[in-house]
Structure formats: C-alpha cells, structure tokens
Amino acid sequence: MKEINSKRNICVRGPDSFSNIQITDPKPYAAGKEGIAAAMKHSFKEMGVFRAMSTLLHMNQKDGFDCPSCAWPDPEKPSRLGEYCENGAKALADEATNSTIGAEFFARYSVEELSLKTDYELNSLGRLTEPMVLRQGRIHYEPISWEEAFTLIADNLHNLESPDEAIFYTSGRSSNEAAFLYGLFARAFGTNNLPDCSNMCHESSGVALSETLGIGKGSVKLEDLYGAEVIIVAGQNPGTNHPRMLSALEKCKENGGYIISINPLEETGLMNFKNPQRLKGLLGSGEQITDLHLPVKINQDIPLIKLILKKLAALDELEGNIFDTDFIEEYTIGAEALLKDLESYSAKELLKLCGVPMQKVDTAVKLLAGKQKIIVCWAMGLTQHKNGVETIREYVNLLLLKGAIGKPFSGTCPVRGHSNVQGDRSVGIMHYVDKSFNKRIETHLGFTPPSEAGLDVVGAMQAMHEGKGKIFIALGGNFLMAASDTDYTAEALQKCELTVQVSTKLNRSHLVTGKTALILPTYGRSEKEQGNNRFVTVENSMGRVRRSKGVLKAASDHLKSEPELIASLADTYFKGDHPVDWKHLGTDYSKIREMIDKVAKGFENTESRANGVGYYLPNNVRERDFSKLPDGKARITINKLPEHTLKADEFMLMTIRSHDQFNTTIYGMDDRYRGVYNERRIVFMNPDDMVENGLRKMEIVNLNSTYDAKTRTAYNFKVLPYKIPRGNLAAYFPETNVLVPYNHFADRSRTPISKSIKVRICKAQSS
Ligand SMILES: Nc1nc2c(c(=O)[nH]1)N[C@H]1C(S)=C(S)[C@@H](COP(=O)(O)OP(=O)(O)OC[C@H]3O[C@@H](n4cnc5c(=O)[nH]c(N)nc54)[C@H](O)[C@@H]3O)O[C@H]1N2
Ligand SMILES: Nc1nc2c(c(=O)[nH]1)N[C@H]1C(S)=C(S)[C@@H](COP(=O)(O)OP(=O)(O)OC[C@H]3O[C@@H](n4cnc5c(=O)[nH]c(N)nc54)[C@H](O)[C@@H]3O)O[C@H]1N2
Ligand code: SF4
Ligand SMILES: [Mo]
C-alpha cells in the first residue's frame, strides 16, 4: 500500500492488494439465463426476495420510477413483466440495500480506518442514514442536525471573499428538479462554478455536435434504431453499460439492418445477445449482434473513418449516388473542402494507423455505400481522448455526406451515461454562460445571474489545488475517484475549508475531505417521498422527459430529498432576503417544474406532459433546421490525425468499466463477459506484446505514465493475455485514474484523456 496522506493519515488510494483471481475465456454471449441469475443474486442479497421482486416491477414503468443506472430510454410500451436489465437490477439493489450506517458506525470507525478499505468494501457498508460532520482536526464523523449543517454551510459561504471560491459539483443522477434548484442557488449565490460529471463524460459530444449540427444532444429516437439499415456502435460497450440497447440492436437486425462495431475489443455484448425477455434468448443460441467488427487501435478512429470516406468518395466518383448530393447541397457546408483534404492522405498510411485489416475496411465501405439510413452510436471510447471533439466530428462527417441526418432511422446517438445527466444540463447544470437562460432567470425569477463563465471539473481541481476554491459541495458523485490524477485531486480537496457531499452511499470522497466535511444523506430514485407533488422528472438519452416516482420506504426517517435540502440550504443562506421563495420550493415540486418551464429551453407544461411516456424536448436536427449555425447550414469539418509519438517502450492504455461496477461504485469483483472473476487489478495485453516484453501471464507489474517531470505510478496489476490490438492496453477505472495527468484533456471540451494514456510497464519488485 502506498502514499498515506499526512494530514489525517488518510490512505488516499485504498489498498492495492490482490484477491483470489479466476480467469475463464471471455463469454460468447451477453445476458441469457446467467444475466437473470446475476441480477437476482445481487437483488436478493441486498434487498430480500419479496422486496426485490415487487420493486423491480415498478422500474421503468409509466407509474413507477426511472432506473437509476444508465440513460438508455424506455420503450413507449414497457412490458408489464419487467423492463429492466441485469445492471439496472444491480443499481436498484445497491441503492435499496437493507444495510445502513449511521452515528454508531462512524463512532466506531475513524475516517483513517475507513480509508484502508477498498472502494468495493466502502460501498457495501450500506446506506447513509443521518447527517454527519467531520470537524476540523477530528478523525471521526459525528452526528449533526440538519439545521446546524445548513447554518455551517451558509456561514462558510458568507465568509468567502468571493462567490467564485465556492464550487458546486453535480453527478448525473439528480432529478431535473434537484439540478435546477441547485444551479439556481449557485447562480443566486453568485457563481457559475458548476462542474459536473459530463465534463468527464460526453462533453466532447456536446461540443462536437453543437459545432456541426447546432445542438449538443443526439438526434435519434429509440424507434429510429429499429428501422436503421446500418448502426455503427463505436467506442461503446452496451452489453455492460447500456444493456437494454442490445434489444434495440436485435430489433434492427430482425428488420434487416446491419451492425458494425468499431472497438479495440470484441466486447461480448456486441457479439451475441440472448434476450432474457424472449424464449429464443433463454433457450436458443441467441442473436448474433455484430455483422462486422473493426478492431481499431485506441484513438485511431479518425484515420479509419477518413479511410472509409476516401473509399466512399472514390466510389461516388465512379458510380455516383453514394453520397447524398441533394442533402449536401441544401443543408451543409464544407463537403468540397473535406473531399479535397481526403486526397492528401495515403490510404496505405491510414490503414496502418488504424490497424484494421484492409478486407474489413472494404466490407464496411461496401455495406455503407448503398445505404442511406445510418445511425452512429458512441460513448466514452470516442470522447475521452485529446482529440475527442475531432473524433466525433469525423463520424458526423460520414452521416452528413450520406444524408443520414434529420430523417427517420438515421442520425447521431451519443449514448449518455448517468440516468439524468442529459436532463441536468438541460435545466442549467453548466459552467459556461447561456445568455438566454440567464435572461429568462432575470425576467421570470427576478435576479441577475453572474455573467462570467465558471469552473469545469479540470478547472475546479486546479482552483482547489491552488487554494482558490475553498468550499466544495457535491450533489452526488465521487469527485475524488472520478476525476483524473487521484493524488492531485486528493490534495486539492484536502486544501478546502469545507467539503460537503450529498450522498446515498459511502465513498472515498467522504474520507479524503476538506478541513471540515459534511455528509448529507438523501433519498434514492426508488424511494417514496411523503407530500404533495413529490415526484420528479428526468430526461433520457434521447431527449424525452418523463416523471419518476419512487415506491420504497426510505432507508431512514432522517433523510432529506435533494430538492428539499437545496431549498433549505438556500433559505438558510438568504434568510428570506431574495426574490426566489426558496422555503416553499422544497415542499412542493410542482413549483420547481413551473420555474423550469419558464427558464429552461423547450420545457412546457411539464407537470402534466411528463406523465405516462412523457414528452420530447425540441431538437432542431430532427427538423433539419440548422438556422442557428453560421451560414444556416450543418458543418462538414476537417479534422487532423491524432499525434501520439509513442516511444518504443510506451503503450496506449484505455481505462474501462468492468461488468460489476457503476463508475466508481464497485458492486462486485467480477467482469463476467471478459472472463475475469474476483479481481480488478489486472491489465489486458496482447499476447505478442507480452512475449516481446518478457512478461508471463499473471505477472505483477506497475504502470507508469510520464507526461511531465512527474512519473505517476499505478501499482500492482496482473498481466492478462487478451485479444486487444498490439501496442494497446486496457485496465479498469478508477484504479488507473492515478495515471491520468490533471492537465491533459481533450481540446475544447476539456474531458480528461482517460482512454488514451501513454504508459510504460515495469515488473513489480514483488513479482
Ligand atoms: N453497468 C454500468 N453501466 C454504466 C456505467 C457503469 O459504470 N456501469 N457508467 C455509465 C456512464 S456514466 C457512462 S459515461 C457510460 C459509459 O459507457 P461506455 O463508454 O460503454 O463505457 P467504457 O467502459 O468506458 O467503454 C468504452 C468502450 O470504448 C472502447 N474504446 C476505448 N477506446 C476506444 C477508441 O479509441 N476507439 C474506439 N472505437 N473504441 C474505444 C472500449 O474498448 C470500450 O468498449 O455507461 C453508463 N452505464
Ligand atoms: N479513468 C476514467 N475516469 C473516469 C471515467 C473513465 O471512463 N475512465 N469515466 C468518467 C465518467 S463517464 C463519469 S460520468 C464520471 C462519474 O463521476 P461521478 O458521477 O462523480 O461518480 P459516480 O461513481 O457515478 O458517483 C457515485 C456516488 O454517487 C452517490 N449517489 C448515488 N446515487 C445517488 C443519488 O440518487 N443522489 C445522490 N445525491 N447521490 C447519489 C453515491 O454516494 C455514490 O457513491 O467518472 C469519470 N471518470
Ligand atoms: S439499460 Fe440502463 S436504464 Fe435500462 S434497465 Fe438497464 S441499466 Fe437501467
Ligand atoms: Mo459518464
């Protein structure tokens, strides 16, 4: 174990010892009976059989609650027999666990002792049940009343020299109502310091799509996937991270569509799917999902797409009708310049860079040439690179040249992560300034929000590290473990005067804290709140807003809902001296929805329209309306090739999710689809690279990244031979976040480069 922090003797990184690893071949199919068994195992263990089964039937149903896990949309007619997947069930079990921790627990264990536990162990302790405070110089959290907690925060906020010394972080599980109030409070307090998890997630998508198509969201609806002729799934592992997307891909195939996967790994969920909602899936051989897998090297999507475009352009020249010239003419600018630019690249060079066999590229070109209804789906494999924005723009080029935008069964599909991360942004969780949003606050709510841009995640880390950020408040999430450069982020948080976590479960951000720290426990999505209009609304990955109402009894009588506690904090801070009537907002959420309708773009009559299947927010791309863009046209762009200049002994590492985690929450120690059991400290490596580097299977290594004078090291990983392109490595996040330098991030979106980290491997002394 390394790097014990001196201030409170906190072990920042947690233990790096090994468990009893077991390895099998990767699973040939996703879901099936094993998926059901795994879901039930987790649910029954945490919640008990009856409670689990009855609650699951309310998940993703019209009168029930939205799955707290990913942002994949629900079908318009959810099956009454159950509309959830294995990982949705795990998320519910994790939230609705019967285990709880309160004052007695924290009296027994100091934060120093707790920091010696793994993230898996911390999460499994159970739900937080009452507000707790870690006072300056102490090592035990103690109970604190809600009133005292709000006063403590309000006093600290009043004592700041400038409102910009406070940082208001949001994770994407908050409801629209909570997120709107939180953003409103930050602005009323006087800052736009509203970093959020999307800064580390789909920010590159937002930037790329806004620049090219005029809206930072995707354009497809769920039903579009069913009728697409080709769906490209790039840089995404839906079998684990958006499991019900596999049903949509299955439907597309049944309707005659083709699936192309572009990924360094042959992810199981993309290969074969046994749909547990169908007899065929339970008893038969399942559905082969991917028709064509392109094993691109890490961060070499641009050369691959350029090569495909180059070949399509040549065909278009020869045969015509490959590109949609009418669409290009009427709706886009930049096509000519792009086609000219493509001529400057050698096909041979592009092929070498992307690492995909020529014959596979040709098959892709053949498939795409005759098709017009094309969808590109993507997630973190495209966004978390230095050139994340450019990479996404290159895929958009393909769609625009094919005219596959703004018509049925076609378009962009950035698959969002957290269940309401898209809604949070729509209602105002953003560090930048949207002038029209601010104007509407001024008109309808009677105060003027600050006009200077605030801090994003990277900016917040730096500000705290430099002593300029003094109060850190988090509406959910686990900033320490989610952000890059764990040791740096820990130092940053520890320099704060006060850190506040609004949370459901214990995580490392409760242990690596400012001088004073607060835990404010809150409701989970599945829990029922008492009172009028106490339901919330959320927006899924495809822009549909619907209501969500919990059904379970809350984990404790001492919880406050997120809207309630934000309203109380604001009321304590302003003491009634503010145009917004904060006091009553936390009791009746319909009042918050009225405000959202007035201030956030596209929201209208949410109170009634969010019922049932809900309603879609406006989306200009669906209307082929590019009038807000310069020249009133969609932009076809020229994007450079990535530059990595790897040294002979350097590898490119991507940090990925296992099947048993939700971001920094570790549900279990297995990664069933990749055949890894009971261990997370492993590095996936090409067998030929292992031979060349004299490494044996299960040999213990350290990973070093050297971007600047400092060498960052992730200790103790076991090497696992795996089907991954040469020169590439994969390992799990968050254990590898220590390797990502805080000051290396995507151009323009500033998303940390978590999927392309240059590392060296060295044998650990103990091996
Ligand atoms: N069960 C579960 N569900 C989740 C989450 C979770 O942790 N657990 N997290 C949620 C969140 S917040 C998010 S953002 C999403 C994340 O969903 P994903 O983006 O699917 O998650 P990752 O594990 O980061 O997987 C990235 C995929 O991209 C591939 N990849 C990496 N680099 C490249 C590249 O350069 N090019 C290409 N083409 N592919 C590449 C990897 O091999 C991997 O398959 O999932 C959400 N859903
Ligand atoms: N190296 C590397 N780093 C990454 C990534 C990567 O792929 N590689 N992915 C990035 C991505 S895509 C994301 S989105 C971020 C995630 O960053 P975060 O959103 O900050 O992290 P999570 O792990 O999702 O947060 C989990 C915690 O949220 C709290 N929580 C859960 N449910 C609720 C709720 O209903 N209300 C409240 N108030 N709290 C709740 C619990 O206390 C839990 O411990 O991580 C990023 N970091
Ligand atoms: S696909 Fe995502 S939202 Fe749907 S049930 Fe599974 S985890 Fe929940
Ligand atoms: Mo995410």
pTM of the model: 0.97
Q: Is the pLDDT of residue 14 over 50?
A: yes
* Residue with tokens 């309310």, as numbered in its chain: 58
Q: What is the mean pLDDT of residues 390-413?
A: 98
If one counts the domains in the chain, the total is 3
User: Are the beta carbons of 220 and 227 closer than 8 angstroms?
Assistant: no
276: pLDDT confidence band, cut at 50, 70 and 90? confident
CB-defined site of ligand 3, < 6 Å: 60, 67, 69-70, 72, 84-85, 87-88, 242-244
Whether residues 120 and 146 share a domain: the answer is yes
Q: What is the mean pLDDT of residues 692-707?
A: 96
- CA of 656 from ligand 1 middle (Å) equals 6
Q: What is the mean pLDDT of residues 385-395?
A: 98
Q: What is the mean pLDDT of residues 619-632?
A: 97
380 Cα nearest atom in ligand 1: 19
Mean pLDDT of the chain: 95
The pLDDT tens digits for 586-622 are 999 999 999 999 999 999 999 999 998 899 999 999 9
Residue 365: which residues within 8 A CB-CB, separation 6 or more? 308, 311, 312, 315
Mutate to test the pocket of ligand 2, among 664, 744, 756 (most ligand atoms within 8 A of CB): 664
* Cα-Cα-Cα-Cα dihedral sign, residues 241, 246, 252, 258: positive
Residue whose Cα lies nearest atom 8 of ligand 3: it is 88
1: pLDDT confidence band, cut at 50, 70 and 90? very low
The pLDDT tens digits for 79-127 are 777 788 999 999 999 999 999 999 999 999 999 999 999 999 999 999 9
Ordered strands of the 292-294 beta sheet: 292-294, 258-262, 230-234, 374-378, 411-414
501 Cα nearest atom in ligand 2: 38
Whether residues 393 and 379 share a domain: the answer is yes
Q: What is the mean pLDDT of residues 145-173?
A: 98
The pLDDT tens digits for 209-242 are 999 999 999 999 999 999 999 999 999 999 999 9
Distance, in Å, from the CA atom of 546 to the CA atom of 617, rounded to the nearest integer, reads 11
Whether residues 168 and 259 share a domain: the answer is no
**How much is the pLDDT for 131?**
98
Whether residues 555 and 482 share a domain: the answer is yes
766: pLDDT confidence band, cut at 50, 70 and 90? low
Task: Give percent of the chain with pLDDT exceeding 70.
Answer: 99
CA distances, 320 to each of 311, 315, 317 (Å)? 13, 7, 6
Question: What CATH number has the domain bearing residue 436?
Answer: 3.40.50.740
**How much is the pLDDT for 659?**
97
The pLDDT tens digits for 444-478 are 999 999 999 999 999 999 999 999 999 999 999 99
Residue 339 domain-assigned? yes
Whether residues 409 and 433 share a domain: the answer is no
Whether residues 272 and 393 share a domain: the answer is yes
Host domain of residue 290: 204-414
Distance, in Å, from the CA atom of 145 to the CA atom of 130, rounded to the nearest integer, reads 8
Q: Is the pLDDT of residue 7 over 70?
A: no
Query: Which residue in 537, 423, 416 sits closest to 66, CA to CA?
Result: 537
Whether residues 478 and 340 share a domain: the answer is no
Q: Is the pLDDT of residue 253 over 60?
A: yes
- CA of 171 from ligand 1 middle (Å) equals 17
> Is residue 440 classed as helix, strand or coil in its secondary structure?
helix
Is residue 522 in contact with ligand 2, taking CB distance under 6 Å? yes
Whether residues 656 and 711 share a domain: the answer is yes
Question: What CATH number has the domain bearing residue 382?
Answer: 3.40.228.10
User: Are the beta carbons of 505 and 96 closer than 8 angstroms?
Assistant: no
Q: Is the pLDDT of residue 54 over 90?
A: no
Distance, in Å, from the CA atom of 394 to the CA atom of 221, rounded to the nearest integer, reads 22
Whether residues 445 and 535 share a domain: the answer is yes
**How much is the pLDDT for 486?**
98
- CA of 484 from ligand 4 middle (Å) equals 13
Q: Is the pLDDT of residue 2 over 50?
A: no
Better-scored residue on pLDDT, 46 or 420: 420
- CA of 638 from ligand 3 middle (Å) equals 36
Residue 614: which residues within 8 A CB-CB, separation 6 or more? 537, 544, 545, 546, 547
Among the bound ligands, the one closest to the CA of 73: 3
Residue ending a domain, choose from 414, 438, 467: 414
284: pLDDT confidence band, cut at 50, 70 and 90? confident
Whether residues 375 and 430 share a domain: the answer is no
User: Are the beta carbons of 492 and 465 closer than 8 angstroms?
Assistant: yes
Task: Give percent of the chain with pLDDT exceeding 90.
Answer: 89
> Is residue 177 classed as helix, strand or coil in its secondary structure?
helix
59 Cα nearest atom in ligand 3: 5
| 757-763/651-656 β-pairing | antiparallel
